Amino acid sequence: MEETKYSSVEVHIRKNGPAVIMGKVHVYDSDGNSINTERLSLCRCGLSSEMPQCDGSHKGQPPFENG
Ligand code: FES
């Protein structure tokens, strides 16, 4: 069975936290490295040491400007 190039995923923006993507996703960084998963938390605060993934560094920080 051929894989559909684009399938439905859900993106949940956590208040003062990451963007949580649920569904089969392939994320490619600027070097072409990929993350293939069905659940991924993307950092929105810029503090993660595991970019683009959230590593929890946002906890205890001031609220995000846009929540
Ligand atoms: S949103 Fe969690 S470390 Fe940035």
Q: Is 18 in the pocket of ligand 1 (CB under 6 A)?
A: yes
Between the CA of 57 and the centroid of ligand 1 the distance, in Å, is 5
Q: Is the pTM of this model over 0.75?
A: yes
Residue recorded with tokens 């069905």: 38
11-53 pLDDT tens trace: 999 999 999 999 998 888 889 999 899 999 999 999 999 988 9
Beta 10-13 vs 34-42: how paired, if at all? unpaired
Between the CA of 30 and the centroid of ligand 1 the distance, in Å, is 19
Q: Is the confidence at residue 1, as pLDDT, over 70?
A: no
3 — pLDDT class (breaks 50, 70, 90): low
What pLDDT does 66 receive? 76
Residue recorded with tokens 């993660």: 48
What pLDDT does 4 receive? 60
Q: Is 55 in the pocket of ligand 1 (CB under 6 A)?
A: yes
